[in-house]
Amino acid sequence: MTLTALRPNARTVKSSWHSSVAALPAVHRAATPFHSREWAAAWQTVRTELVRGRHHLFLQDGTRQHRMSFYQVSDSPLWRAMEGDAGVTRPTFEADVLYGPSIYGEYGGLPGAPVPVLAETVDRGRHLARELGTEALVIANIPPAERSLWREARTPDAEVVLSWAHRARVGSSVEEFIANFPSSSEAGRKFRRQHQRGTDAGLTLKVARGTELLPYLPQFTAQARATSERHGPALYGTDMLTPLTRVPGAVGLLAEHADGTLAGGFFAFRYGSALYLWAPAIHQARESDLHTYGWLMYESVQYAIATGASVLDAGRGNYAYKARLGMLPVALTSAVYLTRPNPHLISRLGALHTGLNQHVLRAWNKA
């Protein structure tokens, strides 16, 4: 019996591989900045994440076009950071991995793609992963709305919730935002107090859009690396952040001292109806007296409102703090498809998933 007979409504999906995303036709407006061609193009030159190969899959489903970028990675600082959070005792993978796309993008998957397109994506990706000699194909950071579709398309060998994003409605004022805090009024008073402390100390918000960020990147990157090193490996480099200034909506929300130096900032994206706070950078020596992170969060709410955003997406990590602000956690699932049977790898993936779940539950219990 043919596949068509089994699935009479199945559509024919055509696909092709390309070495550069620049060679692909522009598709409809990306769902998030992390799905844009500019984001994929940035990873053509990234070295902080050790990328050994880049492959871009173009899919044609009738009149609809889709694209997913795949990266053969031998070392991902962000994956190692997740392993640290989970408290696992050994690396999950023992060889290269093919990620579709990089786990550095907060949201992955293929928003709006039907099941036949997802099936073609997994089939082509898994075949490539085998050809390259990698251990697995990882479809990274699938949001809840897509998770069941990927399962229906091709059942993964394992699923790992690597992290949770955080989203909140901003309303029409900071006071309206604070009114949605779930705890006592103390959380709101602290939010206001931390912002006032930074303001009294002379912090002002510098908004640097797109390539206006470039002069600030040396300071910002050093602080971003130091911030991430408080909990694990350094996650960022100028090789990564420089091309990301060309992603639609890229903006630096920077806490600036009177002398022009930075107390910290967010590498963010004002895109669609949301403000995405993707990467934080905090000058660690002054954080305890300035409460720079809290000051920046308050300023980010104001910036979101001023630019017409209805949603603040505060990114991953810092779970207890974001829970106190009443942000909705959004589980981001990575579907893992092995290139060959490997029960030991399945066991390690299970331990990673369990450890990360326990990590976030401990944080929420402190909120």
201-252 pLDDT per residue, tens: 999 999 999 999 999 999 999 999 999 999 999 999 999 999 999 999 999 9
Quote the number of domains for the chain: 2
Q: DSSP class of residue 10? A: P
76-116 pLDDT per residue, tens: 999 999 999 999 999 999 999 999 999 999 999 999 999 99
Q: What is the β-pairing status of strands 97-100 and 136-142? A: parallel
The answer to the question of residue 317 being in a domain is no
Asked if residue 204 and residue 149 are part of one domain, the reply reads no
**pTM, whole model, 2 decimals?**
0.95
Question: How confident is residue 10, by pLDDT bands cut at 50, 70 and 90?
Answer: very low
The answer to the question of residue 324 being in a domain is no
Distance from the Cα of residue 9 to its chain's centroid = 34
Asked if residue 338 and residue 237 are part of one domain, the reply reads no
3-state secondary structure 29-61: CCCCHHHCHHHHHHCCCCCCCEEEEEEEEEEEE
Asked if residue 177 and residue 302 are part of one domain, the reply reads yes
Taking the C-alpha atoms of residue 136 and residue 76, their distance in angstroms, rounded to an integer, is 14
Asked if residue 142 and residue 62 are part of one domain, the reply reads yes
Taking the C-alpha atoms of residue 9 and residue 290, their distance in angstroms, rounded to an integer, is 60
For 257, other C-beta atoms within 10 Å of its C-beta total 15
Asked if residue 238 and residue 121 are part of one domain, the reply reads no
Residue 3 confidence (pLDDT) above 50? no
User: Which domain CATH number covers 270?
Assistant: 3.40.630.30
Asked if residue 29 and residue 44 are part of one domain, the reply reads yes
Asked if residue 205 and residue 154 are part of one domain, the reply reads no
Asked if residue 335 and residue 247 are part of one domain, the reply reads no
Q: DSSP class of residue 256? A: E
Q: Provide the domain limits for residue 192.
A: 171-309
Asked if residue 235 and residue 108 are part of one domain, the reply reads no
CB within 8 Å of 285: residues ≥ 6 apart: none
Asked if residue 146 and residue 266 are part of one domain, the reply reads no
The token duo for 355 is 């450890």
The answer to the question of residue 304 being in a domain is yes
The answer to the question of residue 187 being in a domain is yes
